Structure 1
Amino acid sequence: MSDTDPGAAFEDGALVSRRFGDVYAARAGALAQSRAVFLAGCGLPERWAGRKHFTVAELGFGTGLNMLALLHLWAQHKPADATLHLFSVEGYPLRREEAAQALAAFPELGDLAAPLLRQWPQQRHGWHRFDFPALGATLDLALMDVRPALAGWQGRADAWFLDGFSPAKNPAMWTDEVLALVGARAAAGGQAATWSAAGAVRRGLAAAGFAVERLPGFTGKRERIEARMPGAPADPASPRLAIVGAGIAGASLARAARRLGLQARIFAHGAMASGNPAALVSPRLAAGSGVPARLHAQAFLRSVALVRREAPEAVIAEGAIRRLKPNEIARAEATIASGLFPQGSLRLQGDALHMADALVISPGRLRAIWLGEVEEGPVEAPRHMSDGWWLGTEGPFDALLLAAGYPTAALSGLPLRPIRGQVSTAALPPGAPPTSWGGYLIPTEEGLLFGATHGRGDADPSIRADDQASNLAGLARAMPDVAARLEGAALGAAAGVRAAAGDHQPMAGTLGSGRFALTALGGRGFALAPLLAEQVAALAAGVAPPLAADCAKLVDPRRFDSN
């Protein structure tokens, strides 16, 4: 994959890739081809009848036409309470304007194309998630070369749409290695379809385990291929979940569980670290585009998208400035150059990084929107019985999701470290945009908030006068004009204890025996929790998760087991 893609252009009514010299979709017959070759070729809609979860994967996202045709069919024939998961790969993403112009030729898909285009990724690399909540559908789009995308995807597809450019013009999309990965990621009884009838494609699919059949082609093509994987399809069970913790991690898990149609009971446990009157959601600086950089960029963009769409009333302010230390400027430049963020969303001006997509949010409002009903009171130690997990007299639960911040250590045995943080507040306008520098100054709904202290190894959440003085001193060094305005003002404070891991990465995944954890979020819970909760909920439900395998490994709670 190259950052210098020659792009696409319209020629005689069709959008053509200049790189491959092939057509994305002709205006005449493209939708009919999608329906005949891919939808009917994979036995849809009949094959999802009676299913609770159905997964479709695709090689060659292009304009998104196949996915829109699929969603259109799903809207007409969706099983009750079912969810649809889509996965697609695109190495050279189109610009939103190009896709919009191409899709305008299919007005019957307009109601679906509009939300797709609103969510169209503006970054060049990484994974991007589209939501179609009214349909119970989610699309994960991997913007990268096909082999790492397939190697990283951890789902199993009930249907595969093989729609890359011609094998003669884009052979990398049709290699035996790629087709073997398609086979390895096909569910039992899964079907694959393509307009191609190339002998190498037939042989590659057969070697991957498919039973391959040649059928009459569509509108002028002599033949096309359909292929079937042996076995009988089966839905994963729909587990009953117990979520322990009602901070941002627990609230995000509650939201993710609802999206998958799962029953979840939420138990509060101890003081929450998500209780400040305001929180800053901002990108994490990471040099290059390695695994940690991809994880944190994907999580930040997902959090911002979800909050803006599902909880706009929780947004206090948009945009923020980060004042960089001299040794941070190169990291900021690398973060901008990584292609993991929308173009223009990060702008470096001297030692100031302007973050257009950063948000200041109300934690209380966001938690209230996502949590739902919470079982208040002390939480007894979970017990694993023959019929599942029990918390006191409550149970049985098929899966136990631990998201209680630092107290998760006592519930799970995970090697978590406490970090006590205290912020200061005042009932005055901030007088400056949201700004961070190691500390931060942000607006609240009633004034301003600044700080914060970082008491590593300290699990005492009580308010301390020394920390109040430390926050004031830090503000005076970074923003003396604001500090001067606070002289003589009445100050409030809030404190909490966050959980961190020794490698400073979060924990999100299985602990075995039906236990899962979402913790070690440090001070970045509001940026990390929404996506990582979707990861944990998907693992608990047995459906395709949103993280690539290398990112999932980075946050695996069991990564310390052998240490």
Structure 2
Amino acid sequence: MKTASIVPAEVDFSDPAAPASTAFGDVYHARAGAWAQAQQVFMAGNGLPQRWQGRERFTVLETGFGLGNNFLATWDAWRQDPARSQRLHFISLELHPLRPSDLARAHAATGPLGAELLAQWPPLTPGLHRLSFDEGRVELLLGLGDARALLRELVLQADAFYLDGFAPACNPQLWDAYLFKSLARLAAPGATAATWSVARPVRDGLAGNGFAVSKAPGFGGKGEMTRAVFAPHHRAPQSPGREALTRDAREGIVLGAGLAGAACALALAEQGLAVTVIDALPQAAGASSGNPAGLFHGTLNPDDGPHARFNRAAALATQALLKRLGLPCVQQGLLRLELARDLAQMQRDARGLPAAYVQALAAPEASALAGIPLAQAAWHYPGGGALAPRTYVAAMLGASGAALRLNTPVAALRQSGAAWQLLSAEGTVLAETGLLVLAGGHAQRALLAAIDPALAAELVTQRGQISRVAPAPARLGTALAGDGYAIDAGLAGFWCGATTQDGDLDPQLRAADHAENLARLARLLGQPAPTTAAEGRVGWRLLTADRLPLIGGLADPAHRPAQRAEQVRFHARLPGLVLCTALGSRGISWAALAGQVAAARALGTPCPIEADLLDAVDPVRYVARAERTLAQYPHETRANS
């Protein structure tokens, strides 16, 4: 998906009863009241609250977030309804979101719900942002950017549509034929839609895409409004690769008690599942997630490709989760030294990303933050930093309420009807589940190889050694990265590293690796560093060739697509099995988002990343790439096979 810088809204608050957009020349809501409009036009127009009552979950898609009043009013009504759905998913798109100061002004009198929204308001970066309320039972998926592009990238089925853009005459792009076609693609069976507009193109657009349209009494001086019900004569089936991997799951097993496993347990628990986490080791975070400290931060590149966008979404998801968990950092903020570009090029490459996410700093500014002299410019990620992975894992597992089964090695997996059995080395069934998440990193490579040997062969196990030096050679104001990294752990000194050796399974600390880490530390600090390490630790990363994780289902070999096999979404999946692995060296940065994506793929809930990013991390991408190569070079491929 092509991205563009987000331009915040310019709001005219001169008339408190009807705030207006200066860009579109229209008011955000009727003078009769924002919440009253939300209740009569959008909620009642979609049969709410009655339609969500007694349901497991209910999903609303709104085409214009505006000031956020429709979301807040819907959330409030959901809270007040004793027969409400177990969970409420609210997806809203906005080209020009509010600055935090304007959001605070708009909701100065809204009360605690408005304050909670403001507290979670994300940096204004393009793409999807997941905000979680009421212990995960209410989810706001806020899409920032052009609605037409975002609608194409949403992976969800909506039960109700709030069509609430500025008037068609002021903002025709939000009411065109493409939009209504997108609504039909995203509509669940029996979905409804409502809007205050009765313009002929609006009603015709709905009717032409499978909605039965009617009029109802209007609100705030308008004589009529539009209501619609999705009732198409024919609907194309959902792509098999987009279907939920399990049906009506009430419980699940996560195999692996490290960063990925803990994040999956939390994400599934927030969706109402009872979760059991199984691990072979005697303690959680006992393998690669057991390092004393590690970095988390986003990245950027000039073309804002999939790696930069996934890293940005993941970093922001991590920041949000750490805030919810109340988890302190070892160090807050991160500086990544720029080794190739000058400051002017860095500023161009930042593409208008907000300072709350990343800043290009000249060497003097970076030095002031670092607390030591730096010779080059640096990227400052104020929301990044350093964290103790084991503490993070414990916090996620605690919040999930998951049952822990440690000291439980799993030697094999066996599919048994609609369930998966976990077997001991003796063939004893240790557990059985309708939903199994493989989240154990390199230790589970053999289990994966038994199910999908081709995928397992694509993976690399990489050894890494970190080092601690004490006393600290300096005091750092932020974590520091570039050629290696340095984390100031206070009295414990510095943690630095890390080495990378593919296919190396040696568990012993090596003096040569300590020397490499200390040499990098000296270059990073621009000053001599200690020549000996106080201690170190060895761990292993699981990597893919394209350096993106594996999140999603595995291809079902019994149902190979007859056509369009070069696209991952057309591959059917093995039911009840989800991968969340190959987080490489970015476990802290990626875990929160990876767990949320894994849960969404398992249960069919709204996906927190765009469809093209979902394809980029899908485990079936290697099969699809092979199919594309075969289609492009059929003779050469067969000759080499």
Shorter-chain TM-score range? over 0.9
Name the stretch that deviates more: 27-36 or 358-367.
27-36
Distance 1:475 1:325, change over 3 A: same
| 1:301 and 2:347 matched | no
Query: Cα 1:348–1:545, aligned 2, differ >3 Å: closer, same or farther?
Result: same
Number of the residue aligned with 1:291: 306
Partner Cα distance (1:166, 1:123) in 2:
24
Give the structure 1 partner of residue 351 of structure 2.
337
Distance 2:444 2:343 in 1: 36
Within a 5 Å distance, the mapping from 1:200-215 to structure 2 comes to 200-215=201-216
1:388 and 2:419 are equivalent in the alignment: yes
Higher deviation after alignment, 515-524 or 34-43: 515-524
Is 1:93 the counterpart of 2:97 in the alignment? yes
**Which structure shows the higher strand fraction?**
1
Which residue is 1:469 aligned to? 515
Report whether the alignment pairs 1:449 with 2:511.
Answer: no
Amino acid at match of 2:24: F
Map Cα deviations across residues 230-281 of structure 1 (whole Å, 9 max, x no partner): 39xx995125322111111111111111111112221114662111101111
1:7 and 2:21 aligned: no
Q: Would the aligned equivalents of 1:239 and 1:541 in 2 still touch at CA under 8 Å?
A: no
Alignment of 1:506-545 (within 5 A): 506-511=549-554, 512-513=573-574, 514-545=576-607
CA contact (8 A) 1:277 1:444 kept: no
Report the Cα offset of residue 85 of structure 1. 0.9
Matched residue, 1:65 = 69
| Amino acid in the other structure paired with 1:380 | A
Whether 1:412 aligns to 2:416 is no
Query: Which SS does the other structure have where 2:551 is aligned?
Result: strand
Alignment match of 1:40 (pick from 40, 44, 50): 44
Q: 1:436 aligns with which of 466, 473, 481?
A: 481
Measured in 2, the distance between the counterparts of 1:444 and 1:366 equals: 16
Which residue of 325, 339, 346 corresponds with 2:339?
A: 325
Deviation at 1:383, TM superposition (A): 0.8
Letter in 2 for 1:147: R
Instruction: Please give the per-residue CA displacement for 1:527-562, whole angstroms capped at 9, x wherever unaligned.
Output: 111011101111111211101101101111111114
The CA deviation at 1:229 is 1.8
Correspondence 1:235-254 to 2 at 5 A: 237-254=248-265
Going from structure 1 to structure 2, the CA distance change for 1:25 and 1:161 (only over 3 Å counts) comes to same
List per-residue Cα deviations over 1:311-370 (Å, max 9, x = no partner): 424x2110122111124867743553252x554742321422222111211111111111
- Is the aligned partner of 1:376 residue 2:380? no
State the Cα distance separating 1:487 from its structure 2 match. Answer: 4.8
SS in 1 for 2:170: coil
CA shift, 1:89, in A, is 0.4
Q: Answer with 197-206 or 235-244: which moved more.
A: 235-244
Using the TM superposition, give the Cα deviation of residue 11 of structure 1 relative to its aligned residue in structure 2, in angstroms: 3.5
Distance 1:448 1:521 in 2: 24
Q: What amino acid does structure 1 have at the position aligned with 2:359?
A: L
Deviations 1:490-529 (A, max 9, x none): 6110111101111111211111212211122111111111
Distance 1:254 1:356, change over 3 A: same
Question: What is the DSSP-based 3-state SS (H/G/I as helix, E as strand, rest coil) of the residue aligned with 1:496?
Answer: strand
- For the Cα contact (< 8 Å) 1:95–1:122, is it kept in 2? no
Q: Tell me how far apart the structure 1 counterparts of residues 37 and 597 of structure 2 sit (CA, whole Å).
A: 34
Q: In the alignment, what sits opposite 1:348?
A: 361
After superposing the two structures, state which structure 1 stretch, 130-139 or 57-66, moved more.
130-139
1:196 equivalent to 2:197? Answer: yes
Going from structure 1 to structure 2, the CA distance change for 1:38 and 1:245 (only over 3 Å counts) comes to same
Name the SS of the counterpart of 2:495 in structure 1: strand
Q: Residue 634 of structure 2 aligns with which residue? A: none
Please say if residues 522 and 528 of structure 2, whose CA atoms lie closer than 8 Å, have aligned partners that are also in contact: yes
Deviation, 1:80, is: 7.1
Measure the CA separation in 1 of the matches of 2:203 and 2:83.
33
SS in 2 for 1:557: coil
Q: Tell me what 2:504 maps to.
A: 458
Change (3 A) 1:49 1:6: closer
Determine helix, strand or coil for the equivalent of 2:290: coil
Structure 1: runs of 5+ lacking an equivalent: none
Amino acid in structure 2 at the alignment position of 1:363: P
Q: Any idea what SS the aligned residue of 1:561 has? A: helix
* Counterpart secondary structure, 1:70: helix
Check conservation: 1:272, 1:404, Cα contact below 8 A: no
Q: What RMSD over aligned residues (CA atoms) do the two structures have, in Å?
A: 2.3
| In 2, Cα distance between equivalents of 1:487 and 1:290 | 40
2:361 counterpart SS class:
strand
State the alpha-carbon separation in 2 of the partners of residues 284 and 323 from structure 1.
Answer: 12
TM-score, normalising length: structure 1? 0.93
Residues 423 and 452 in structure 1, CA contact (< 8 A), matched pair in contact too: yes
Deviating more after overlay: 51-60 vs 268-277: 268-277
- CA offset at residue 222 of structure 1? 1.6
Residue 502, structure 1, aligned to residue 538, structure 2: no
Sequence identity of aligned pairs in percent?
38
- Residue pair 2:53, 2:85 contacting (<8 A) in 1 also: no
- Of residues 59-68 and 28-37 in structure 1, the stretch that sits farther from structure 2 once superposed is 28-37
Residue 224 to residue 480, structure 1, CA distance change in 2 (3 Å) = closer
Deviates more, 1:323-332 or 1:377-386: 323-332
Any idea what the Cα deviations from partners look like across 1:356-406, whole Å, max 9, x if unmatched?
Answer: 111211111111111244212211211111140010223331122111112
1:467 to partner: Cα distance: 0.9
Instruction: Work out whether residues 58 and 85 of structure 2, in 8 Å CA contact, stay in contact via their aligned partners in 1.
Output: no
1:54 aligns with 2:58: yes
- Equivalent residues of 1:421, 1:455 under 8 A apart: yes
